[in-house]
Amino acid sequence: MRYVLGFDGGGTKTDSVLMDETGVILARARSGSSNPTTFGVEASLTALSAAAREALRAAERSEQDIAYLVAGVSGAGEPAMHLAVQSGLQPRFPNAKICITSDLVLSLAATGEIPSVVVIAGTGSAVLGRTEPAELARAGGFGPLIGDPGSAYDIGRKATAVILQKNLNRERFPLGAKVLESLQCKFDELFDQARARPGDVFPKIFRVVAKEAESGDAAARALLTAGAQDLRDQAREVIEKLKLREADFFLAKTGGVFDGSPFLNCQFDSLMREIAPKARIGLLPRSVAEAAAQLAREALMNPLVLEES
């Protein structure tokens, strides 16, 4: 029996799926962040290896048993990062063929439909769509420095800016107080932490904003509404490029922003129905890690499915 591994590596978590060559899922596991652009190649390799090791342990298998590995890793789209992650994994899985690809591509594959559009909103954000015959369109996904509008990072960053402004003007701001309470820090410490560890701090602040929005906090709801509009704008770019405004297609959502904020989720759906009224909006029918494992299995059976890496 041969075995394959699939990964979904992002800025907050890394999911892995261990599958045998018949398509049976043997184990799932999760570890920490694996975006090499944000956290470095070594941190990415550590997270990927940890997720794999946990899945293999659960199924009583070893790294030597893996014949094919497909990993969709956020931030590994650049050739240098792609090669660094692949080269770092190869010694850890000596008998495996390894394919490192974009988490965007695997998210789109996980829709299981053509045409389809997938909106990713986690630590980062991006939109990817496809139609027959394999025409692709993309918006966003450029990273936090250039901009990931509508992401947990971006919403947390904007919330922090509002907190700083309110403090500067000595205005009472309940949302800011909730953020400080959640992070267990004082105002000056928040500023220092945000500058030193934005990739860690801003997504945590997003979670506070999402929680307070459910309690009716007006400032939190304004931030999340703006985030939903940012995601809408990216999705509209892809939909218009692919001429899907009046089409019946699957619009899939995935990521911690949608999972973590019912308010933003509802706002986004309403905005999208104005742009693409015939779209079927829903969550991905399967996980990205599972789609990666399935792709690895298909490549194991038919080498032409993926180029050898």
The residues near 4 (Cβ < 8 Å, ≥ 6 apart) are 18, 19, 20, 21, 66, 67, 68, 69, 70, 293, 296, 297, 300
The correct answer on CATH 3.30.420.40 for the domain covering 3-107+287-305 is yes
pLDDT, averaged across the chain: 91
Burial of 167 (0-12, 13-18, 19+ CB in 10 A): middle
DSSP structure string for 105-145: HHHHHTT--SSEEEEEESSSEEEEEEETTTEEEEEE---TT
Q: For position 229, what pLDDT does the model report?
A: 98
Q: For position 308, what pLDDT does the model report?
A: 40
Place of tokens 């992650």: 85
Q: For position 80, what pLDDT does the model report?
A: 80
User: Could you tell me how far CA 293 lies from the centroid of its own chain?
Assistant: 17
Structure tokens at 158: 């904007």
Closest CA to 259 of 156, 137, 152: 152
Structure tokens at 51: 């997720």
Residue range(s) of every CATH 3.30.420.40 domain in the chain: 3-107+287-305, 111-285
Those residues of the chain that have pLDDT short of 70 are 77, 303-309
Residue 46 DSSP one-character state: H
Q: For position 309, what pLDDT does the model report?
A: 37
Instruction: Assign domain 111-285 to its CATH architecture.
Output: 2-Layer Sandwich (3.30)
- State the Cα angle at 50 between 44 and 52, rounded to 5°: 105
What is the reported pTM?
Answer: 0.81
Distance in angstroms (rounded) separating the CA atoms of residues 256 and 206: 10
